[in-house]
């Protein structure tokens, strides 16, 4: 356990609007572990008090219950302890030691990125502690959804509690922090000096502390007392910006108060002030933050452009309402994360980015067109391949992870891949199936990076129940996508999902591929499949024209729309005539409204139509 700073308590933590919710939730968690916000996830930029709050929870929990077992641990310490336990062969003992605490506090959770084994152990620990009604408090420099490579199950657990952020402190809180630090150090400042220091817009408390250190050091070394007017030149260059302007000078406070009272008594409030007040009151009744236009009321004279500013404020609130409705329609998977964003017009850009992430997260996968299942495939398809595919999609716990099908024929295994998917969906209609080519997967990842929704994109893929991938050999043409595909495979393996891959070569012949991926392909079941028709599963044959069952269907085929709307399959009974053996399969129509899943089918350039009997292939007898 990391040593606790005895000074990091709730009594020494200066509370202001930027951290009030985080402080209150943390204190509640310390006083009543496991009964309110569990887990409690606190995030903010560096230096804003996350570690202070975690240590304060530890101190307060021990004060409330001297017998409480409290563990405060940085993620770095957690990883070091895990590594030592694994080297000593004590993995289970390490896991159990974390399950025996009443309050678990973990700092710097963002370092879980790229640590799948640590994530697995932490996930099991959180589940065990939650079941035992123990309290979990975590801190990070970013929200869970923005931690790269974080297991979707961990994101779900964190979102199930309370996620709260800490913002940089405003002027009044900065002043209070300075006065508290001066008192703790047994120093003193001239009147107005603390306010002069606080007027600089520091990014975090550490910068503020550095500025105060310079002021105190100057007073001690130069043996003089600094006045407020000395502060800008002393610390302005260090901070890099000029101080924020005070809304009212001290000399103006009394005059402004007298003027405000006089206006109220005489009922002569200016129209601009009355209108701004009305907008503020209406917005606050609906729970919106009004700091932006509230600042206009701090001015004595009519502010320039106050009308357009009110209009812009109203437009931002309207847009936040639209985003809120859209999130409800989409079924927002992260409601706690949205709560604060949707009430602050100054965070509209963040709300727009959040909406984009939700759209990505709930975007449906393309679906398979109607066609044969594994039971419909004929005897020409190797029995071992059909049985292996059936075992992957049918067994409660598949033995093969993954099933890797390959053939030199680019059309091969697509029919088996699609038939396996249809069989699985038939038995599990509510399951999440994803079908894609490796190139499409890589291109989609690049798109998500460019749109800033990589975290949601990743979580979407990590919740798949059956993953079907063709063109797997294209891994050799990717770099970052290989790493993403590896983490996707590991995530699906942990949740017991099924994976079937198709390629034109065995894993050993895919060049420039991550050896971790190659070893996992070869660690499943690798089968070579003879040339298959992409829709039937019969031996491949040269392209040919298909006899139509009607003039309308023939016109449809001649128009080049056969793969857009109609596909044909052949039954196993070769004794019947071709018109009897042919079975029509109607695929999905054109892309539907926004949000509808797109149908997947093999490329029409790569499809071979097959008729089992050579005689039946002739459209007419030749002389």
The reported pLDDT for the residue numbered 236 is 65
Strands 582-586 and 566-570, sheet pairing: antiparallel
Q: What is the pLDDT of residues 393-448, one digit of tens each?
A: 988 888 887 999 988 876 657 888 889 999 999 999 999 999 999 999 999 999 99
Domain boundary residue, one of 165, 192, 220: 165
**Residue of 474, 540, 539, 536 lying closest to 502 (CA atoms):** 474
Answer yes or no: are the C-beta atoms of 468 and 460 closer than 8 Å.
Answer: no
In a domain, 509, yes or no: yes
Structure confidence by residue, pLDDT tens digits, 104-150 = 999 988 888 888 888 888 888 888 888 888 899 999 988 888 888 88
Give Cβ neighbours of residue 487 (< 8 Å, ≥ 6 apart). 116, 149, 458
Average pLDDT, the chain: 77
Do 129 and 189 belong together in one domain? no
User: Do residues 491 and 406 both lie within one domain?
Assistant: yes
Q: Tell me the residue range of the domain where 611 lies.
A: 551-617
Q: What's the whole-model pTM score?
A: 0.47
- Same domain for 181 and 156: no
Mean pLDDT of 574-584: 31
Residue 155 lies in a domain: yes
One domain, residues 433 and 391? yes
| Residue given tokens 């599990």 in the structure block | 428
Residue 294 lies in a domain: yes
Is residue 266, in this structure, part of any structural domain at all?
Answer: yes
Do 282 and 317 belong together in one domain? yes
Out of 32-41, 299-308, 314-323, pick the least confident: 32-41
CA–CA gap between residue 267 and residue 273 (Å, rounded) = 12
Please list the helix, strand and coil fractions of the chain in percent, rounded to the nearest 5, in that order: 50, 10, 35
User: How many domains is the chain partitioned into structurally?
Assistant: 5
**pLDDT per residue over 236-257, tens digit each?**
655 544 455 444 344 444 444 4
Residues 515 and 373 in one domain: yes
pLDDT score of 578 more than 60: no
Number of Cβ within 10 Å of residue 591's Cβ equals 10
- DSSP bridge pairs for 67: none
Instruction: Examine the domain organization and report whether 463 and 439 are in the same domain.
Output: yes
Neighbours of 447 (CB within 10 A): 13
The verdict on residue 542 lying in a domain is no
In a shared domain, residues 375 and 518: yes
In a domain, 591, yes or no: yes
The closest alpha carbon to 12, from 209, 198, 176, belongs to 176
pLDDT reported for residue 209: 81
User: Tokens for 500?
Assistant: 């079937």
Q: Are residues 353 and 371 in the same domain?
A: no
Q: What is the DSSP letter of 524?
A: S
Per-residue tokens: 340: 């604060």
Instruction: Tell me: do 472 and 576 sit in the same domain.
Output: no
Q: 499 and 462, same structural domain?
A: yes
């Amino acid at each position: 356990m990391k040593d606790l700073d005895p000074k990091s308590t709730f009594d020494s933590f200066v509370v202001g609007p930027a951290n009030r919710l985080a402080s209150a939730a943390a204190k509640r968690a310390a006083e009543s572990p496991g009964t309110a916000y569990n887990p409690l996830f606190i995030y903010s930029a560096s230096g804003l008090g996350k570690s202070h709050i975690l240590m304060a929870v530890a101190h307060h929990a021990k004060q409330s219950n001297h017998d409480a077992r409290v563990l405060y641990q940085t993620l770095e310490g957690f990883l070091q302890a895990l590594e030592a336990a694994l080297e000593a062969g004590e993995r289970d003992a390490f896991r159990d030691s974390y399950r025996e605490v009443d309050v678990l506090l973990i700092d710097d959770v963002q370092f879980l990125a790229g640590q799948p084994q640590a994530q697995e152990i932490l996930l099991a620990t959180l589940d065990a502690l939650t079941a035992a009604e123990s309290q979990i408090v975590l801190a990070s420099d970013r929200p869970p959804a923005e931690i790269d490579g974080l297991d979707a199950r961990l994101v779900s657990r964190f979102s199930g509690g309370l996620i709260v952020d800490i913002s940089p402190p405003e002027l009044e809180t900065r002043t209070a922090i300075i006065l508290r630090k001066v008192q703790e150090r047994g120093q003193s400042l001239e009147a107005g000096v603390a306010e002069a220091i606080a007027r600089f817009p520091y990014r975090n408390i550490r910068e503020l502390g550095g500025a105060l250190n310079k002021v105190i050091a100057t007073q001690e070394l130069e043996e003089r007392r600094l006045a407020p007017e000395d502060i800008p030149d002393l610390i302005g260059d260090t901070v890099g910006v000029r101080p924020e302007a005070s809304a009212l000078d001290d000399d103006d406070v009394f005059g402004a108060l007298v003027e405000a009272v006089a206006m109220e008594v005489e009922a002569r409030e200016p129209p601009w002030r009355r209108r701004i007040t009305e907008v503020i009151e209406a917005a606050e009744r609906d729970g919106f933050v009004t700091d932006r236009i509230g600042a206009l009321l701090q001015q004595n004279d009519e502010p320039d452009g106050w009308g357009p500013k009110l209009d812009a404020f109203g437009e931002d609130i309207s847009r936040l309402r639209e985003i809120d409705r859209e999130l409800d329609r989409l079924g927002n998977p992260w409601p706690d994360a949205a709560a604060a964003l949707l009430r602050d017009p100054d965070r509209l850009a963040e709300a727009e980015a959040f909406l984009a992430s939700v759209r990505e997260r709930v975007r449906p996968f393309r679906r398979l067109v109607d066609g044969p299942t594994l039971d419909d495939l004929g005897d020409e398809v190797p029995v071992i391949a059909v049985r292996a595919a059936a075992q992957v999609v049918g067994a409660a716990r598949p033995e093969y992870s993954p099933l890797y099908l390959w053939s030199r024929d680019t059309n091969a295994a697509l029919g088996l891949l699609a038939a396996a998917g249809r069989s699985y969906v038939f038995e599990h209609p509510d399951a999440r199936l994803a079908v894609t080519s490796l190139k499409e997967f890589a291109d989609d990842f690049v798109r998500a990076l460019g749109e800033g929704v990589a975290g949601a994109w990743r979580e979407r893929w990590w919740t798949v129940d059956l993953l079907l991938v063709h063109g797997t050999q294209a891994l050799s043409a990717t770099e970052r996508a290989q790493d993403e595909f590896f983490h996707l495979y590991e995530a699906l393996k942990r949740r017991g999902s099924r994976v079937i891959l198709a390629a034109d070569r065995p894993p050993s012949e895919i060049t420039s591929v991550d050896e971790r991926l190659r070893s996992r392909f070869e660690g499943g079941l690798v089968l070579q499949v003879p040339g298959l028709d992409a829709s039937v599963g019969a031996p491949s044959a040269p392209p040919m024209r298909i006899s139509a069952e009607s003039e309308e269907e023939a016109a449809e085929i001649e128009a080049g729309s056969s793969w857009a709307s109609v596909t044909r399959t052949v039954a196993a009974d070769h004794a019947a005539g071709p018109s009897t053996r042919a079975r029509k399969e109607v695929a999905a129509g054109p892309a539907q409204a926004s949000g509808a899943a797109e149908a997947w089918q093999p490329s029409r350039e790569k499809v071979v139509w097959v008729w089992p009997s050579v005689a039946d292939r002739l459209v007419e007898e030749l002389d």
